[in-house]
A and B are shown apart, each in its own frame.
Chain A
Amino acid sequence: MPALVSKSLRDYRRALLGWTIGISAFFGLYLAYYPTIVSNSELYGQVALTKFPGAMRDLMGGLEDGFTSGPGYLQTLVYQLFGPMLFIMCAAVIGNRAIAQPEETGTLELTLTLPITRRRLVLERFAALALALLGVTTVTFLVVFGLALAVGMDVPADRILAGHTGVFLLALFFGTLCLTVGALTGRRGVALAVVGVVAVAGYVVETMGRDVDGVSWLRWISPFHYYLDGRPIQQGFPVWEYLVLAGAIVALVLTAIPAFDRRDVGV
């Protein structure tokens, strides 16, 4: 493994451990409630859900399957909003540690004076980000898979894998966005703000856009569209959508490299 990749991963170790435990605990808590929800289907069933205002149902992902079924529950409570948001936060934290944070604290200066080109620095920090998120995703996938089995949730492993792959790509997209804004500006506050705005706006546009014609045309630029629209938990791998996310990640990296290569660092 290239020195800067392994060094970065070593630096991220604690943060990654924390996020993995946190996200696993979150998933565990929600999945543990599943049996209670199923046994009270008159409270949480389809009929009860129709009482929610339409716009709110949209924000929660439509609730078409309700959440008394395994896939519906998993989709609505884990893979719809909270799961991705936790992963995105984790990705933004790690994404900022690629360039913007060490630049602001001053530790990037010595790294830059190593015999490593700036292009390699960006690529290796991106590789570290991807591997870090892959680690968190893999562990949390095993947790969700294990718990889904334990609580008797009737969701096949490949669907959970499809959902988790989507979350990984979405997180990597936002982590890379954070890295790229950091590469452009060197400011972690700016990078976090951009990630926050794109994530919230992207989510709202994608979910509200299903029913509101005025914004529905915006859905195609929302990163969430390429994760949620394919409904991975219900329908399996949305290959094209995921490829679009992967393409967007590559485009961001290709933006970050020349931007960072051209810039004065630490001024």
Chain B
Amino acid sequence: MTAVVETEGLTKFYGGRRGLEDLDLEIRPGEVFGYLGPNGAGKTTTIRLLLDVIRPTRGRMTVLGSDPREAGVRSRIGYLPGELALEGRERAGDYLAFLGAVRGGVSRGRIAELAERLEADLAVPMGKLSKGNRQKVGLIQAFMHEPEFLILDEPTSGLDPLVQQEFLAMIREVRASGRTVLMSSHMLAEVEHVSDRVGIVRAGRLVAVEDVAALREKAVRQVEFHFDAPVPREAFENLPGVRDLRVEGAGVRCTIDGRPDALVKAAARFTVVHMVSAEPDLEEIFLTYYSDEEARHARAGVEEPA
């Protein structure tokens, strides 16, 4: 199956300022791809390039198998801009009907159903929508024509937690129906539960693409065991992946990298009364990537001959 997005050496400079450089990215059909990076890293630049709002300085790309300059392909895409601007006295519902008509027709019923799901009030004039409601209108227009490919730029900003849950459920439905999603965020926590893969972009460059499952495996986990009697420290020393070991009487605390297998087997020799394992903090790994990358760049800068 051909990739939904394929870019090669995609580069965008705004005058002399780098927006994005040498992006090689592949988004596969049916996956949810989380596109992560701090503000100004190049996420929105990438998205705007894919939608032909801006033009690349060099490099090539295809979206759903065709050149983004072909307008027709855009009816198969749903897009939520990062900063959605809606204004005027037109009711949100009328605007949605207009967008739907241009994209080939969306029934009023479909729009009403989405509005009900997200609890959006479509009778409000667009200029008077609250930030949260504006984002809901943005989500409705992105989802309503059931596009093959959804591009969502910071979709959860401005949504309250309940609506966020509903939104994540909608993303899962899209994935279950075999369609593809690209969603950007500056926080991994927002996308980790729905993403299959995440790409990390920083200062205009893609620094890593990772499987979320693999990322979890790399995760640092805090583990705590409580036994019915004090245990010897030696039983837990030098286990693969175990770090920061602290043994205090009947309690053992440590962090583990990767699989907890050896630790569990060591603990099984005693009577375990209680065990705590914290969810891996992907945010932490994510930040580790960043700081490593930063450190490497800094070193390269120092070593570079003047």
Contacts and interface: CB of A to CB of B under 8 A. Distances in A.
B88 interface: yes
Contact of B74 (A3, A11, A107, A114): A114
B51 interface: yes
20 contacts: A3-B102, A7-B98, A11-B88, A11-B90, A105-B87, A106-B84, A107-B86, A110-B81, A110-B85, A110-B141, A112-B51, A113-B52, A113-B77, A114-B74, A114-B103, A115-B74, A115-B75, A116-B102, A264-B53, A264-B54
Contact of B14 (A11, A262, A267): A267
Interface string B136-152: 00000100000000000
B218 interface: no
Nearest to B56: A264
Contacts of B55: 262, 264
A7 B84 CA distance: 19
A256 B64 CA distance: 29
Interface in A102-160: 105-107, 109-110, 112-117, 120
B74 A113 contact: yes
A172 to B, nearest CB: 24
Contacts of A4: 102
A167 to B, nearest CB: 28
Q: Which of A109, A110, A112, A117 has the most CB of B within 10 A?
A: A110
Interface of A: 3-4, 7, 10-11, 14, 105-107, 109-110, 112-117, 120, 262, 264-267
Contact of B54 (A106, A115, A267): A267
Interface in B94-113: 98-99, 101-104
B98 A112 contact: no
Q: How large is the interface on B (under 10, 10 to 19, 20 to 34, 35 or more residues)?
A: 20 to 34
Contacts of A7: 98
Contacts of A120: 71
Contacts of A110: 79, 81, 84-85, 99, 141
Nearest to A14: B89
Contact of B53 (A3, A112, A115): A112
A116 B89 CA distance: 24
A96 B101 CA distance: 25
A109 B71 contact: no
B83 interface: yes
Contacts of A113: 51-53, 74, 77, 79
B40 interface: no
B104 to A, nearest CB: 8
Nearest to A112: B53
Contacts of B98: 3, 7
B210 to A, nearest CB: 29
B141 A112 contact: no
Contact of B103 (A115, A262, A267): A115
B178 interface: no
B72 interface: yes
Given A109-B81, A264-B14, 17 more contacts: A3-B98, A3-B101, A106-B85, A109-B53, A110-B141, A113-B51, A113-B52, A113-B77, A114-B99, A114-B102, A115-B71, A115-B73, A115-B75, A117-B71, A266-B53, A267-B14, A267-B54
A105 B85 contact: yes
A265 B53 CA distance: 6
Contact of B102 (A14, A115, A266): A115
Given A11-B90, A105-B87, A117-B71, A112 B52 contact: yes
A267 B54 CA distance: 8
B144 to A, nearest CB: 13
Nearest to A120: B71
A107 B54 contact: no
Contacts of A267: 14, 54
B87 to A, nearest CB: 6
Nearest to A11: B88
Nearest to A13: B89
Nearest to B88: A11
Nearest to B83: A106
A164 to B, nearest CB: 30
Contacts of B87: 105, 107
Contacts of A265: 53-54
A156 B186 CA distance: 69
Contacts of A266: 48, 53-54
Nearest to A102: B85
Nearest to B141: A110
A265 B79 CA distance: 16
B160 to A, nearest CB: 23
A112 B50 CA distance: 12
